[in-house]
Structure 1
Amino acid sequence: MSDLNERVETLEKTIADLSLDLQASRIAITVLTNVINKMSGTPGYVANSYEEENSSAPLVKFNHPEQDGYEEKLTEKVLALIAKTH
């Protein structure tokens, strides 16, 4: 049972570390997006650039099986992070 408890503790720590990394990444992306948008002088510059590039060719080629709608969900998440309203 102690092995199981150790594994659960390890998983809980890993999840906590990943959650912290995720939040830090979101903040960094938002700050960097705002800076780039302001430097460009065009509101929504980063989001517009992403949409243009993504529509011309996929930016990422996935080398693993995708769930249905994964790419669309991923695009929604990316656009939410680099939202035009910033």
Structure 2
Amino acid sequence: MPSNTPLQGTDLVDCARANAKQGIETAAYQCGYGEDVNAFAKELKAACEQMNLQVKELSELIDEQEMPLQLGGEVVAPDTPSEL
């Protein structure tokens, strides 16, 4: 459910991180910025700087644990979240 007002600070970073896999347009919408991707990017950059996070792209907010491990060109990951 998208935020009714544009998020800022740690709330914005948390929301952006949660929606980073879906892309910047979806993340901007979910974080309360609608279609204003530029305002979203500007506020996200400011929020990251306040938190001392060095982030240049939205994809950098995705936790390494959430990204599939790639070895030798093959994706190594469980078939479903419940399989480990």
**TM norm. shorter chain > 0.5:** no
TM-score range, shorter chain: under 0.3
Higher helix content, 1 or 2: 1
Larger C-alpha radius of gyration, 1 or 2? 1
Higher strand content, 1 or 2: 2
Q: TM-score, normalized by length of structure 2?
A: 0.27
Q: TM-score, normalized by length of structure 1?
A: 0.27
